[in-house]
Amino acid sequence: MDIVDVIGSYVVLRQAGANLKGLCPFHEEKTPSFNVHPAKQIFKCFGCGAGGDVFNFIQLREKVSFLEARAILADRAGISLDDDRHGDNQGPGKVDIARANQWAAGLFRRQLLSPAGEAARAYVEKRQIKPEMAEAFGLGYALDSFDGILQAARQAAHGEELLAAAGLVRAGGPRGCYDTFRNRLMFPIADTTDRIIGFGGRTLGDDPAKYLNTPETILFEKGRGLFGLNRAKDAIGRTGRAIVVEGYTDCMMAHQYGFEEVVATLGTAFTTEQAKLLRRYTDVVILVFDSDEAGQRAADRAISVSLCERLDVRLAHVPTGKDPCDFLLASGADAFARLLIDARPALEFKWLQVVGRYHQSETGPGQRRAVEEFIEQVAAWLREGAVDNIQRGIGLDQVGKLLSLSPGEVNRLVAAAQQRLRRPAGKEAVQASETGLAAPSGARQAILRQLIEVLLNEPEFVGQVGETLEAEVITDPVLATIAKEVLAWCREGQKSESWRLDELIGRFESPQFGQVVTDLQTAGERRGNYATTVGGALARLAELAETAKTISAGMEARRPDDREAETRALMAAHVGNRARRRFHPLSHGPGPG
């Protein structure tokens, strides 16, 4: 797929010589610094540094993994991926299910607007959801019928196998299958690419299950998605925060009142996967839960999940007896904004819970249990690295004041709690390596980097530098990884006489590698004079090798009492070699257009 077509659907591009320019979608700017190179099939921003191929662009823009980016582009091109299906490649795949869901969403929407949807429209009006908001979120209605969607599917030539795979029908009953959703207001659930992955349905009758979600499919897991995130992701990036509520209508009403960074859980407790999903867009999460006991428990769980995912989590409570939707309707946007401003940090929220329980208990053991619970929670968060030293100090200082204990005694209690907590077996802390390049460690590494920069622009030089530029001699692990792939790419290109930079970038799944490769390519292009650079680099490397050989031989032959004098002499010789070297700074050629 042409990178210009893909990026052009996100960014307004204008011709600038052989390339195209536009405003970067990854940072705020007024003067275009975002370049697309059709011939190389790559993009590069000279403002923020982002760069790579079409897959990297989708990864960065949509905040998805490489496999998700691949699926997005495949779906856009109308290609069904083989590994999109179950193990033996039999049965409907994710693309098929997404299309079935899209069809069902259209059907539900038409039914809401039909005479049969009068009661559903009355409920929407009663909740004071505006028609334009209902349309924006795609609200629909599932008929009060045993096989309404089955009959509609037969007319649209959709088979029962596909409907069952999508969770729209269930097996059983006298006719073999029946509709999953009946007499319900339907909320389509989309992923970040606007692909409908499932539905939530609110009963309009006396069904004891007030809300019902699509059962788990190969496309939908309710613990992994967030309602409204497809509409909220840009606002989250713009405001620097995500606001999490519990209900679908809570989310929609918040958007209606201008709080477009609001998302909702899917009828479950806030999960680790949902926290990781939000972390793609922001580090700040405000949880808005009901003030009743169930809301308190949900908030408690959500705080632990968010903190352990390194999120700056705060908690805002609506007044007792109201949910966020009711609160917005009764008090308005300004009151909701103040409620968010007054949101309490997680540790403070936990502490207030302890204080409340402590003062409510009339017995010593009851008070002690409340405090012990807080200390154990702090110890658990410390183990996960979820609480920093400042937060820890504030929280434990509050414990000391409440119990009239010294800081040393409180720290002893926390240390004892940490000892009681056992780490899960087989788990080790693994830090993800940074994909940025460190400054070269010495002249030799700087020269090797320059050779890579040349090859990224003129791969034909691989014959001259291939033996010198072995990945094993490069100390930076990221640059070594790139060098290995660059050499393979150059040698494969020699056989086919075809080198495309996007094909090289495509060998790496992480978009950070795309940025590093385009950084190196740009640096080489700006320097220019490729033949002179290669000749000077090889000569300089030979000088460095000869100097190292001389120093090594001298160190082996020296007498112990001559060590200092010989070292000074050898260093003087090394300085003289540098003064006579033929590897001089080169003039800068023109930069990329």
**Residue 161 covered by a domain:** yes
CA distances from 318 to 151, 296, 357, 585 (A): 44, 11, 20, 65
Q: What are phi and psi of 86, to 5 degrees?
A: -70, 170
Residue 429 lies in a domain: no
Output the pLDDT for position 428: 29
Q: Do 593 and 16 touch, CB atoms closer than 8 A?
A: yes
CATH number of the domain enclosing 159: 3.90.980.10
When divided into structural domains, the chain yields a total of 5
Q: Is 463 helix (H, G, I), strand (E, B) or coil?
A: helix
pLDDT attached to residue 519: 86
Q: For residue 254, give both structure tokens.
A: 């918040």
Angle between helices 530-557 and 443-457 (to 10 degrees): 150
- Residue 588 in any domain: the answer is no
137: exposed, middle or buried (Cβ count in 10 Å: 0-12, 13-18, 19+): buried
The verdict on 333 and 362 lying in the same domain is: no
- 155, 121: one domain: yes
Q: Do 333 and 245 lie in a common domain? A: yes
Q: What is the pLDDT of residues 402-429, one digit of tens each?
A: 667 787 877 787 777 777 665 443 332 2
At 522-546, the pLDDT tens digits run 888 888 888 888 888 888 877 777 7
Residue 19 lies in a domain: yes
Where is the domain boundary, 31, 53, 79? 79
Where in 259-363 does DSSP place strands (E)? 262-264, 284-289, 312-317, 344-345
Higher-confidence residue of 405 and 437: namely 405
User: Residue 59 in 3-state DSSP?
Assistant: helix
Residues 294 and 365 in one domain: no
Cβ neighbours around 155 below 10 Å, total? 7
Torsion of CA 244, 245, 247, 248, to 10 degrees: -40
- Would you say residue 39 has pLDDT above 50? yes
Residue 236 has pLDDT above 80, yes or no: yes
Q: Is 222 part of any domain?
A: no
Which residues share a beta bridge with 262? Answer: 243
370, 295: one domain: no
- 119 & 237 share domain: no
Residue with tokens 């019902």: 212
Residues 451 and 413 in one domain: no
CA angle 97–103–107, rounded 5-degree value: 140
Last residue in a domain, options 342, 360, 379: 342
pLDDT at 59 over 50: yes
Count other Cβ atoms within 10 Å, centred on residue 130.
13
Phi, psi for residue 224 in degrees, rounded to 5: -110, -15
pTM over 0.85: no
Residue finishing a domain among 45, 79, 113:
79
Residue 587 lies in a domain: no
CA distance 21 to 309: 37
474 shares its domain with 573: yes
Residues 464-468, mean pLDDT to the nearest whole number: 78
Predicted confidence at residue 252, as pLDDT, reads 97
209 and 116 in a common domain: yes
Residue 29 reports pLDDT greater than 80: yes
Q: Which of 270-279, 533-542, 555-564 has the lowest mean pLDDT?
A: 555-564
Range in 259-268, 356-365, 382-391, 490-499 the model is least confident about: 382-391
In a domain? residue 533:
yes
Among 215-224, 327-336, 379-388, 468-477, which stretch is predicted with the lowest mean pLDDT?
379-388
Mean of pLDDT values over 303-312: 78
Which of the 8 DSSP states describes residue 36? Answer: E
Question: Mean pLDDT in the chain?
Answer: 80
DSSP β-bridge partners for residue 340: none
Question: Per the structure block, which two tokens stand in for 386?
Answer: 């979820």
Domain assignment of residue 590, yes or no: no
- Does pLDDT of 171 surpass 80? yes
- Could you list the residue range(s) of the whole structural domain that residue 533 is in? 443-580
List Cβ neighbours of 484 (8 Å cut-off, separation of 6 or more).
Answer: 471
* DSSP-derived secondary structure letter, 165: H
- Grade residue 356 by pLDDT with cuts at 50, 70 and 90: confident
User: Are both 337 and 355 inside the same structural domain?
Assistant: no
As a residue count, the chain comes to: 593
Which helix (H) or strand (E) segment holds residue 211: the answer is: strand 211-213
- In this prediction, residue 392 carries a pLDDT of 67
Helices (H), 497-529: 501-505, 511-527
Most confident of 1-15, 191-205, 503-517: 191-205
Q: Looking at the structure, do residues 576 and 451 belong to the same domain, yes or no?
A: yes
- pLDDT above 70 covers a percentage of the chain that reads 79
3-state helix, strand, coil in the chain (%, to 5): 55, 10, 35
**57 and 173 fall within a common domain:** no
- As given in the structure block, the two tokens for residue 358 are 């402590």
| CATH number where 10 lies | 3.90.580.10
